[in-house]
Amino acid sequence: MIAAKPFLKWAGGKSQLLTQLEPLFPKKFNGYHEPFVGSAAIFFHLYNLKRGGIFPTTVMKRVGLTDSNDELINCYKVIKSQVEDLIERLAKHAKKHSEDYYYRVRGWLPKDLASLERAARFIYLNKTCFNGLYRVNSKGQFNVPMGNYANPKILDADELRTASRALRGVSVVTTAYETVLQRVEKGDFIYFDPPYHPRSRTASFTSYTEDAFDRQHQFELSEVFKKLDEKGCFVMLSNSWTPDVLDLYRYRGYHFIAVHASRLINSNADRRGKIKELVVLNYDPERTEGGSMMSGKRKAVASGHDLRDKVVAIGEKLQLDVRTEVKVGKRLWGASRLIDVVMTDKTTRKALGIECKFQEGGGSVDEKIPTTINDIGAWPISGIVVLGGKGFREHLRSYLYSTGKAVDIEDLDDWLKLYFGL
Ligand SMILES: C[S@@+](CC[C@H](N)C(=O)[O-])C[C@H]1O[C@@H](n2cnc3c(N)ncnc32)[C@H](O)[C@@H]1O
């Protein structure tokens, strides 16, 4: 039996990343949902793993594959229920293939075709067009030119039959990704592979559907991620490794994993190369039993003292000179002004003052932090506030980070390395 695999070429397809992504899947889960399914590289791989006995039989009894591209989803539906008819139609396209024929078929309008013919046209164009791109004009008409292939493989009957078997019992629906929230149950695994946030303003960006996936969409997706996390699901997301995307997921205690992909950046071969991409997980992939729900929890810091001890330990581990309760002048009424922790690089003598702020539950420490940040401005050395505990409200926390003067204890190690150039 051949392994199931994508039968389409798809921008951002995950086939080349499977060996890096596989160790990151939860070890056990219930249902599986892929709301940006594209060519379904991950679903087919999970299916193969399950068939190979890697997952318990209870895994993936419910599977939902969705995408906003109706032409794509129609294809899955036809493969699922009419694979032999589809093979027949594709064989006809393969026989007739020529430049002239390509442009004729491209000119057909999906709305005038029955679903079987639509699926055959879609696969035929995908196999013969330039780079397997999917792009439509403002009227929704497919407008990619023909690719330059001497002998394109238009039909692989076994591949389609295997895909058809894999899709048995799977629900395939055209819908926007956020509707996944209505379908999931606790213990389900959701893999998000959205159109990536561009790495730079000038980076080429492929719009898969008529509506591009912009910053607002990226933000809304991070909110859906969080809601799924709170429901007790295992959530995994791929995106570009960019400051904007990292910021969307950073402060909720999720795991960030780097994977490396060879991406065709543009048609210029010189610009191909390994690109660092981001995977966000709300569970610990090392755990063998069922992962561990993070539910937005960061590692526990028990008290203000504990926070300060942790700050000191991080500084010492980095071999900085660490002193606590350092006097820096007097306040207006004569009381000493103290800095919680001062760290100094033993060689360069570069110094940093740290104010530790702990908040466990609904208090109001966070509201006072802007004043603290202001006070830090009067110190004779640079300073930051380090936050610990789960009690900070998300919005205020984001605001504090945006000042560049507040750092979460979880990020302090990295932050200090950057600051001191270690
Ligand atoms: C990066 S691709 C997914 C690639 C897929 N993982 C694979 O291996 O081929 C992103 C997919 O998201 C779909 N998409 C874009 N916007 C969407 C939205 N708002 N809701 C659902 N799907 C969307 C696109 O049609 C495209 O198939």
**pTM for the structure as a whole:** 0.71
What is the rounded end-to-end Cα distance, in angstroms, of the chain? 53
Ligand 1 center–CA 34 separation, angstroms: 9
Nearest CA to ligand 1 atom 19: 176
Residue whose Cα lies nearest atom 11 of ligand 1: it is 36
Ligand 1 binding pocket includes 10 (Cβ within 6 Å): yes
Q: From atom 17 of ligand 1, which residue's Cα is the shortest distance away?
A: 68
Q: Are 359 and 389 in contact (CB under 8 A)?
A: yes
Alpha helices in 140-192 (DSSP H): 157-166
The closest alpha carbon to 241, from 257, 255, 225, belongs to: 257
CA 260 to ligand 1 center in whole angstroms: 20
Q: Does domain 304-420 have CATH number 3.40.1350.10?
A: yes
Long-range contacts of 342-350 (CB under 8 A, 24+ apart): 342/381, 343/315, 343/416, 343/420, 344/320, 345/320, 345/321, 345/420, 346/319, 346/320, 346/321, 348/420, 350/420
Query: Tens digit of pLDDT per residue, the chain (422 long)?
Result: 789 999 999 988 999 999 999 999 999 999 999 999 999 999 999 999 999 998 988 999 999 999 999 999 999 999 999 999 999 999 999 999 999 999 999 999 999 999 999 999 999 999 999 988 989 888 888 999 999 998 999 999 999 999 999 999 999 999 999 999 999 999 999 999 999 998 775 554 444 444 578 989 999 999 999 999 999 999 999 999 998 899 899 867 788 999 999 865 554 544 556 889 999 999 988 764 443 344 444 457 888 888 999 999 999 999 999 999 888 766 556 666 789 999 999 999 999 999 999 887 766 677 788 888 888 888 889 999 999 887 787 777 777 877 888 998 988 988 898 899 88
Cβ of residue 261 lying under 6 Å from some atom of ligand 1? no
d(CA 386, CA 412): 8
Q: Where are the domains of the chain?
A: 15-281, 304-420
For residue 230, how far is its CA from the centre of ligand 1 (angstroms)?
24
Q: Whose CA is nearest to atom 26 of ligand 1?
A: 38
Residue 70 corresponds to which tokens in the numbers above?
């109706």
The CATH superfamily holding the domain 15-281 is: Adenine-specific Methyltransferase, Domain 2 (1.10.1020.10)
Tell me whether strands 321-330 and 336-344 are parallel, antiparallel or unpaired. antiparallel
- pLDDT tens per residue, range 200-235: 755 544 444 445 789 899 999 999 999 999 999 999
d(CA 378, CA 328): 10
User: In angstroms, what is the span from residue 194 Cα to ligand 1's centroid?
Assistant: 5
Mutate to test the pocket of ligand 1, among 36, 69, 177 (most ligand atoms within 8 A of CB): 36
| Torsion sign across C-alpha atoms 166, 172, 178, 180 | negative
